[in-house]
Amino acid sequence: MGDYSKALEFYEKAHKIYEKALPPNHPDLATSYTCIGGVYNKMGDYSKALEFYEKSHKIYEKALPPNHPELATSYICIGLVYNNMGDYSKALEFYEKSHQILEKALPPNHPHLASSYNNTGTVKTKKNIVAELNLQTIDRGTTLNQLNYEPHVSASILKQYLRELPDRLLTTALLPQWNEIISLRLTFFSLFLIQSS
């Protein structure tokens, strides 16, 4: 494991020099922002990573032609952060922007195009898995409602179900839906008690 705080310290020192020595839209300044964003991404500070990747991207947009491969790389970095955050729709949006540039800028058999296809395929797979699991969770919630279990039993079963998912990222992505299902179950149970009284 790297010493990210030390890496950040050195990248920030380099960045200060670039800021003094280069014009504000110089591509090297953008590269510096990308390096800092990369460290924040590795540290799991995705909002900071996004902030620096977006600063980098704005410079590249001004300094480079619209189909420059460095712009594609910038889109990939932003997409990666959204992917790490579990926002697969946003990740896909940026991966596709990147791919469009790479298709225009590179020959058809270039390895970067293969990587681009992999990025898009991976995020589409994750997006489909989350959608599938959302449906399974809702189906599981419906089944529990039909069985008329007490709310705490439903919550326990759903909690165990979500705990057993192999990918923590998917569990995190499903947490809001899980809370909503439990809330609905409690609401239905309350209405049932009112009607039975």
Q: Which of 106-115, 117-126, 167-176 has the least mean pLDDT?
A: 167-176
Lowest mean pLDDT among 92-101, 107-116, 169-178: 169-178
User: Which of 89, 122, 155 is the last residue in one of the domains?
Assistant: 122
pLDDT at residue 45 in the model: 95
Whether 141 has a pLDDT exceeding 50, the answer reads no
Between these two residues, 197 and 88, which has the higher pLDDT value? 88
Are 103 and 33 part of one and the same domain? yes
Provide the CA 116 distance to its chain's centre, in angstroms: 16
Q: Please tell me the distance from the alpha carbon of residue 27 to that of residue 15, in angstroms, as a whole number.
A: 12
**CATH number of the domain within which 80 lies:** 1.25.40.10
Residues 111 and 143 in one domain: no
Domain closes at, from 122, 149, 173: 122
Check whether residue 11 and residue 77 sit in a common domain: yes
| Predicted pLDDT of residue 109 | 82
Q: For the residues 122-147, what does the mean pLDDT come to?
A: 57
Tell whether 80 and 134 lie within a shared domain.
no
**Per-residue pLDDT band at 121 (split at 50, 70, 90):** confident
Based on the fold, state whether residues 137 and 55 are members of the same structural domain.
no
Domain holding 152, by residue range, is 128-196
Instruction: Mark whether 13 and 50 lie in a shared domain.
Output: yes
- Identify the domain boundary among 74, 94, 122: 122
Query: What confidence tens digit (pLDDT) does each residue in 45-59 have?
Result: 999 999 999 999 999
Same domain for 8 and 86, yes or no, is yes
One domain for residues 114 and 134: no
**Whether residue 135 sits in one domain with residue 116:** no
More confident residue, 91 or 131: 91
39 and 8 in one domain?
Answer: yes
How many structural domains compose the chain? 2
